[in-house]
Chain A
Amino acid sequence: MDFVGLPVPYTMKPRRISEFLIESAIFLAGTISILFVVLIFIFLAKEGFALFRTVSLWDFLAGKDWYPISYPPRFGALPLILGSVWVTLGAILISVPIGVACAVYIAEVAPHWLREILKASVEFLAAIPSIVLGFIGLVTLVPLVQSLFNISTGLTALAGSLMLGFMAMPTIVSIMEDALTAVPRSYREGALALGATHWQAIWRVVMPAASSGVIAAVMLGIGRVIGETMAVMMITGNAARIPTTLLQPVRTMTATIAAEMGEAVQGSPHYASLFAIGIVLFVITFIINLTADFFLHREK
């Protein structure tokens, strides 16, 4: 915009300076956050890669025994990786169908007043600290699983899956609900005007139109599950054995780090192995976030 009559440098100068300051501040903030990510990764790599002086990468990733403090120590992380994978897969199997159904109900079916209540409740769920959920899971889910399947302990992968599925649901529901609500009304009208029923319009037009957001919601839900620590540590039993069914105790990567970091001698191979587990987690979450990002920004 030109201010006709006023000398341009005179009017522009104060604005230029404040503009410059604001831009620099934003640039600095952005750069610092990137710098932190890089530093964290370097730190992780530096500490973690020390392990591979003792153990080969293959023996670490594919080794079946995790005995970090026996003599000689064994650093096979496969049981931990599989523990995380099992619990996560179980959680996804539980949370995705329910989460999708819930999001569709909130976005497409529920009357206006109920929609607001449900959205607020879902957000409230997301705000419950995981340790609290873990505690509730410990006193409710664990005995339930034990008596339901008549097994010696309810501290199992299944209990962890149920718990984590429940914890991933708010993420899945709220992101997916946003995606569904963002689908233009004209798509629904077009489908209805062709004689589609409400459900046909949702499944054949609205869901495909929102597919990027739906997939991103699921990926972020998975990210939430795989990084969760306290709740799983409390209810999965923490046995570092390769699980064959969901009804066995498992130990996840996150729980291992949390449980053993306190006792590992700084600089020892055990200490390094926990960082190496951290790298594995980091890589997995990174890939998941990248995939979610890809779907969120995919050009239609």
Chain B
Amino acid sequence: MNPKISVKNLHLHYGDFHALKGVSIEIRPCRVTAIIGPSGCGKSTFLRCLNRMNDTIEGVKTEGLITIDGEEILHTGADLIRLRKKVGMVFQRPNPFPLSIFENVAFGPKLHGVSGPKKGGRAPSLEEIVEKSLRAVNLWDELKDLLKDSALRLSLEQQQRLCIARLLAVNPEVLLMDEPCSALDPVATLRIEELIHEMKKDYTIVIVTHNMQQAARISGETAYFYLGELIEFGRTDRIFTSPEKKETEDYITGRFG
């Protein structure tokens, strides 16, 4: 199977600081790939390369090759808007906009024009997209009568679900999640994990987590990063039962990290 995302020899500098050192990895479509490693090892930095969010930080230099569906994304002429529509991102702290729930979900479709699978020969309406997206994250029943309320009133879990719904509304293919559960309690975490499990049949998901049980529970492949390098990458069950590298084993068995 062709990889959805292919990264070759990726280097990234923050000014003088060498944050990613020659990362190469192939991410398969419709799978959950977990990125684990101690804090500060470059997990977020790597993730933010995949939708070029690092472009918003001054003094960042990226080298190497990243292709998504065979299309190179790092060259200067790349269409960032199309890229970010296709590769959505969920952040560590839920960051709904200070707008109504409806406006949060409708934000993307309003930017890019309403699109999506035709229904009875016509494009779906904004309301239909919002409903579909909220249903996909299991928020519709709770919130369908509160769509005009401010999104900031929701619980953290609801906010994070809303942020995922906001992405789904622009029909992405890849979802990047940077420790999406770190602000949530254990019960909410499990429910978000269930959601990720449901979504993986339709989306390629790359998730950063500092929680190894979580990686083991939800991912098909796991990548272990250490000090800006990709140390080991493979099937999650193998990484967690018989890692090839000593460093991986040390991290997984909790000897450091």
How many A-B residue contacts, CB cutoff 8 Å? 66
Contact of B88 with A197 in the complex, beta carbons under 8 Å = no
Contact of A195 among B95, B111, B150 (CB under 8 A): B111
B213 CB–A CB distance under 8 Å: no
The residues of B that contact A205 with a CB separation of less than 8 Å are: 97, 99, 107
Contact of B111 among A190, A200, A208, A209 (CB under 8 A): A200
Contact of A191 with B97 in the complex, beta carbons under 8 Å = yes
Q: Is the interface of A mostly helix, strand, loop or mixed?
A: helix
The residues of B that contact A300 with a CB separation of less than 8 Å are: 98, 150, 152
Contact of B82 with A184 in the complex, beta carbons under 8 Å = no
Contact of A194 with B170 in the complex, beta carbons under 8 Å = yes
Q: A189-B56, A300-B152 are in contact. Are A194 and B88 (CB under 8 A)?
A: yes
Q: Is the interface of B mostly helix, strand, loop or mixed?
A: helix
Contact of B91 with A190 in the complex, beta carbons under 8 Å = yes
Contact of A195 with B84 in the complex, beta carbons under 8 Å = yes
CA distance A300 to B153 in the complex (A): 9
CA distance A37 to B167 in the complex (A): 53
**Tally of contact residues, B, Cβ under 8 A:** 29
CB contacts under 8 Å to B, within A253-300, are: 300
B58 CB–A CB distance under 8 Å: yes
B72 to chain A, nearest CB (A): 18
The residues of A that contact B152 with a CB separation of less than 8 Å are: 300
**Tally of contact residues, A, Cβ under 8 A:** 20
Contact of B51 among A188, A190, A193 (CB under 8 A): A193
B43 CB–A CB distance under 8 Å: no
B90 to chain A, nearest CB (A): 9
B207 to chain A, nearest CB (A): 15
CA distance A264 to B99 in the complex (A): 55
Q: A195-B81, A195-B82, A195-B84 are in contact. Are A189 and B111 (CB under 8 A)?
A: no
B123 to chain A, nearest CB (A): 18
Contact of A194 with B107 in the complex, beta carbons under 8 Å = yes
The residues of A that contact B97 with a CB separation of less than 8 Å are: 187, 190-191, 205, 208-209
B78 to chain A, nearest CB (A): 13
Q: A112-B58, A189-B53 are in contact. Are A194 and B111 (CB under 8 A)?
A: yes
Instruction: Give per-residue flags for A194-209: 1 if the beta carbon is below 8 A from chain B beta carbons, else 0.
Output: 1111001000110011
B220 CB–A CB distance under 8 Å: no
Chain A residues engaging chain B, CB cutoff 8 angstroms: 112, 184, 186-197, 200, 204-205, 208-209, 300
9 contacts between A and B (CB under 8 A): A187-B97, A194-B85, A194-B88, A195-B81, A195-B82, A195-B85, A196-B107, A200-B111, A300-B150
